[in-house]
């Protein structure tokens, strides 16, 4: 069955953790109207020596309970400063969530951009 992109949505912004060791939400998607493609970029350009952040991604493979699917520890400064999250096709009810936790250093702002494209059967 052929599919096409029904619509796409961009999510851009920045977050700054309010305290060390506090998980801060970057992206939190609810159920979509159909399966979708998600990809993104996260900038760690503000990280300096002594800064450590943990980036986590969760999905609900059963459509209900989110579980950790990936975790990356970033030590500042980092070059290149942008981390790419490759495109992945997800079920409509996978509820992806991306968070950042700063574990040491001075609290820093993390910038991000995600695009998700919801598909439809034609």
Domain edges within the chain: 3-121
Q: Name the β-bridge partners of 28.
A: 97
Provide the pLDDT for residue 107: 98
Tokens of 19: 């305290």
Distance, in Å, from the CA atom of 48 to the CA atom of 52, rounded to the nearest integer, reads 9
Q: What is the pLDDT along the chain (122 residues), one digit of tens a residue?
A: 899 999 999 999 999 999 999 999 999 999 999 999 999 999 999 999 999 999 999 999 999 999 999 999 999 999 999 999 999 999 999 999 999 999 999 999 999 999 999 999 99
What is the spatial distance between Cα 15 and Cα 109, in angstroms, rounded to a whole number? 6
The whole-number pLDDT of residue 1 equals 85
| Nearest C-alpha neighbor of 27 from the set 101, 102, 88, 99 | 99
* Size of the chain, expressed as the number of residues it contains: 122
pTM for this predicted structure:
0.95
pLDDT of residue 111: 98
The sheet with strand 3-15 has its strands ordered as 3-15, 110-121, 36-43, 82-90
Cβ distance 53 to 99 under 8 Å? no
* CATH number of the 3-121 domain: 2.60.120.1330
What pLDDT sits at residue 48? Answer: 98
């Amino acid at each position: 069955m052929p599919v096409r992109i029904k619509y796409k949505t961009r999510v851009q912004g920045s977050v700054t953790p309010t305290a060390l060791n506090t998980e801060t939400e970057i992206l939190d998607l609810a159920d979509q109207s159909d399966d979708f493609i998600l990809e993104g970029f996260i900038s760690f350009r503000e990280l300096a020596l002594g800064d450590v952040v943990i980036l986590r991604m969760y999905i609900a493979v059963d459509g209900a309970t989110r579980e950790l699917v990936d975790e990356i520890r970033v030590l500042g400064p980092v070059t290149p400063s942008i981390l790419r999250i490759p495109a992945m096709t997800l079920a409509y009810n996978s509820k992806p969530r991306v968070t950042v936790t700063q574990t040491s250093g001075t609290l820093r702002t993390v910038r991000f951009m995600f695009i998700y494209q919801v598909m439809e059967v034609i």
